[in-house]
Amino acid sequence: MTRQTATRKQRANGVESRRRILDAAIEIAGERGYEGTSIAAVSAKCGLPASSIYWHFKDKDDLIAAVIERSFETWLAALVLPGEETGTPLERIQAMAANVARSLVDEPDFLRLGLMLALERRPEEPRGRAVFLETRHIARRKIEEVAAELFPDLSDASVQTLATYAVAGADGLFVHREIHGEAVDLAALFELHARLVFEAATRMT
């Protein structure tokens, strides 16, 4: 085996180990929350020694922050306004909302864990909480860009108000599904939420 081949193999093994660690952390954190998640529990779940986890992540907080970041990247890919071929502006924004809802069903971890951390108050803020707040800022900016594109006559203040309302409403719908389970059609609720936001924007212009 050449040195280059060995290096590629080590890199692939490192990527696979990191994936296994994150998958285990997601499952444990989803069941036990931030406080109940530990390096020992993650190690037992993924089958890798604690030393391997510490090689990838500085501590538990660094691991939770990575979980939020990975899940958010998947979710953010859905926060894109479809092109004009999709239909009317309302149909476009509803299609985007449905895509976002489906991504939350598939990758709920950043919002589930993030909301837990955001509602807590600690003397020393966990890095995971800071990462989550930054992801929310990014998401809000994306929504502001969509609102400005569809409603160019809206003032900056109105765009910011709409984005705040859209994010807060999405939070509430997500929490509702977390409480009541899979019987809740999150995509349908997000489409309704998008319609209400669209109608509010229409009135504001």
CB 154 within 8 A of CB 147: yes
SS3 47: coil
CA separation for the pair 81, 87 (Å, rounded): 11
- Show the tokens assigned to 202: 């229409």
Residue range 149-196, pLDDT digits in tens: 999 999 999 999 999 999 999 999 999 999 999 999 999 999 999 999
> Which domains does the chain carry?
3-57 (1.10.10.60), 69-204 (1.10.357.10)
- Show the tokens assigned to 133: 């707040």
- The rounded Cα 122 to chain-centroid distance in angstroms is 22
Residue range 23-35, pLDDT digits in tens: 999 889 878 888 8
CB 102 within 8 A of CB 162: no
Biggest CA–CA distance in the chain, Å, is 68
Report the mean per-residue pLDDT for the chain: 90
